Amino acid sequence: MMDDYNEKVIDNFRNPKNMGSMDNPDAEGEVGNPTCGDIMKVFLKIDNNIIKDIKVKTFGCVAAIATSSKMTELALGKTLEEAKDLTRDMVAKELGGLPAQKMHCSNLSVEALHKAIDNYQKKHMTKEHTTD
């Protein structure tokens, strides 16, 4: 199992970036469930359609933590549209690849990000509608 992780993955696992929670986030998104063993929760600060700050909390294996960290680095500073174009494969590629069995169960952080953006846009749209 271990030898399937490359050095980049291990390095991101050892020193994950943007981990933890956030006070008063503009949006949150959570994916996964305890049964499968991976849960990711993403917090966003959004200003002028741009991700100004991002934090993630992750329950999961080495791949789950490494991909969570890499996802935050890819998303930070992007517009919401650009962030929505991020995919699992892009995260995995940035990490130099993941063991095959980890691609679908542990590489969920992009979905948590997309969920947070969806939540933000829904909220935002409803607000626009109500102000109209």
Partner 1 sequence: MKVYLDNGATTMTDPQVSDTMAKYFTEVYGNASSLHSFGKSAKEALDISRRIIADSFNADSREIIFTSGGTESDNLAIKGVARALKDKGNHIITSKIEHPAVLNSCKSLEKEGFRITYLDVDENAFIDLNQLKESITAETILVTLMHANNEVGTIQPIRRIGQICKDNNIIFHTDAVQSYTKVDIDTKKIPVDLISISSHKIHGPKGVGALYIKKGTPLTKLSDGGSHEFDVRAGTENISGIVGFAKSVDLSTPEHIKLQNRLKDQLIDGIQRSIPDTVLNGPRDNRLCSNINISFRYIEGESLLMHLDMKEIAVSTGSACSSKKLEPSHVLLAMGIRPEHAHGSIRFTISRFTTKEEIDYTIDTLKPIVEKLRAISPLK
Provide the binding-site residues for partner 1, judged by CB under 8 A: 1-2, 10, 13-14, 16, 19-20, 30, 34-41, 56-65, 101-102, 105-106
**Which residues are designated catalytic?**
36, 105
Q: Looking at residue 15, what DSSP letter applies?
A: S
CA-to-CA separations, 19 to 33, 67, 70, 112, in angstroms, rounded = 19, 12, 11, 14
Categorise residue 37: left if φ over 0, alpha if ψ from -120 to 50, beta otherwise: left
Q: Which is nearer to partner 1, 97 or 99 (CB)?
A: 99
Q: Which is nearer to partner 1, 37 or 125 (CB)?
A: 37
CB 105 → partner 1: shortest distance, Å? 6
